Structure 1
Amino acid sequence: MRFSKKTALITGGGTGIGAAVARRIRREGGNVVLVGRRPEPLRAVADEIGATVITTDAADGIAMRKALETVVETFGGLDILIANAGGHGVGPTISMSDETWDLAVRLNLNTAFVSARESLPYLIKNKGNIVVLASIAGLFAGPDAAGYVTMKHACIGLAKSLARDYGRKGVRTNTVCPGWVTTDMADEQMQMIVEKFRLKSIEEAYALVTKDVPLGRPASTEDVANAVCFLASSDASMINGAILTVDGGAGTVDLPTLAFAEC
């Protein structure tokens, strides 16, 4: 019961990693507040685990300020922010529109920045912590994904700044960088692989994109939630400014030596 008497706010909490983190924190005794723009998935998770729903845009400062006021009125404070909301920003730079770029900024970076800024007064008071969900795209560059890659790199920079600036005030900030995770969003990308390579299933597509990952499989949302909840708990009380990859070892692979694996 690591989160007994603790309150956690999770942006993008209605699906995927956010929902898995919500389930884990609730199972370990914490109060959970789910924030997102789509009420239906938020309500489905809330009904399942007994969480509070605030339907709002995490990138909207005024809306998040009001959301935090509601959290404090309901639970008396805030202990944990899981800045999980995100989205795509894909496409080659040469043809990316201003609108696509701006959306990548808003969905990935602004949601993390605004939610952190509005949460900090309450986290300082309770000596709480922040976990930012980035991606291994924040450490490396995938093809034709300039918006997403750039914003995930920026999320890591934001987390480092928060760790440095607010560690002395008792607020820890850490980053989790997943590789491929079996979510609805990733399934959509796997469908593109299925069609391109004429595969029989999404499972075959996941196998293809992880064939050079040392563990040879994608992560589950629970795998990522385990890492997030460790960093958010008192078990990680001396960890601040860390980047924890949940990628099956993908980041350890020396790309120029891949050909030798077939020898």
Structure 2
Amino acid sequence: MSSEYDKATAFDLTGNRATVQLSADWGIGNAVNGGIIMSLLAQATSSVSRAAGGHSDVLGLSAVFLSPGTDGDGATTTDVLRSGRSMTTAQTVLTQDSERVRAFLTLGDIDRYAEPVTLNPAPPVIPGPEDCARSSDAPPGALSQSGLLHRVDIRMDPATAGWAVGQPSGNGELRGWIRFTDGREPDLHSLLLFLDAFPPVTFDLGAKGWVPTVQFSGYLHARPEPGWLQVRTRTTTVAGGLHEEDAQIWDSTGRLVAQSRQLASARF
């Protein structure tokens, strides 16, 4: 049986164009989560590239979010810009009634680049998932406004969860664990969802409300092993209503499998 993630990232491909269905089930407020959109773009681009004789594993994705994705039909159009022996470069655009996201992707054979590991930052030492604050315990109002929180299981390190009870630490860092609620194991392209699924890091600085992504760059380093993923997000610069957010993801073996940096709004 397909998981909810697999259903949300399904598409019908004809040539370089895919018809897709964005779902409010993966939304935050009225907008569909950018992470699920990037996972969908990665999979559609992978299929087009593979059909054209190119590579199928996304190594890097840089996206500009032009307008929020909404519940309903959409389409992606992929142009393979270059396909070499080791890497393929492509551009994919998501449209609904207007252009939503424009992304440039680098694809290759992830297993070729996963080993040997010369440098791997260790994950932070935090309590296990069973000893962390659960997203399912969020106030009913927050749960009703976010379909995403019903589909990903987030466990927040208590040391970085004070914002949830009105006591942000002011450090600009969140730490914790994440996995799919229905038990589906993570795979390579789902890491793009998990990079953008944590609460906004500016909540730890006292920010309120929706924090839309303006620009996002994500890098995938290896296929994750089954089990919980450990996440750390941080910000060091907040000014003029914008901030940068860095995210890192380690798999159950302690291997850094993905990281990202994004520019996003911040509302106080």
What TM-score does the superposition give when structure 1 sets the normalisation length?
0.28
User: Which structure shows the bigger proportion of residues in strand conformation?
Assistant: 2
User: Which structure shows the bigger proportion of residues in helix conformation?
Assistant: 1
What TM-score does the superposition give when structure 2 sets the normalisation length?
0.28
